[in-house]
Structure 1
Amino acid sequence: MRSSRESPEATAVLLTEPINRITDDRDFATRLIAEALTKSDHDWQRTPSGRPAACATA
């Protein structure tokens, strides 16, 4: 079983309802998470080995 440390997406989904209540905007967290995940996909380009480029060694 994966821990929340290994699955930030799951943690983000669990936080959506409390975030939406705090901001009094029922879609705020969804927009925030979608934007963060989209940015993350662009920032972490994969190398041929399948590892994120930021973690790859020479």
Structure 2
Amino acid sequence: MIGYLRTTSFARADLFAERHAEFEADALHMLEGHADENGWLTEQVDFTVLLARRPGGTA
């Protein structure tokens, strides 16, 4: 998760200058509170697929 944040435009390391290490430590501490007993963070994602075809068509 921290690696992902480093690649975003809103949480790049250079935006935090000398406070980046503090930001990273705070973020890790916060995320640990949401991790399971193995340290994994999970996200449930629901999605819908709409399949259609033209009437009388084969594809």
Tell me which interval the TM-score lies in, with the shorter structure as reference length. 0.3 to 0.5
TM-score (norm 2): 0.40
TM-score (norm 1): 0.40
Pick the structure with more helix per residue: 1
Structure of larger gyration radius: 2
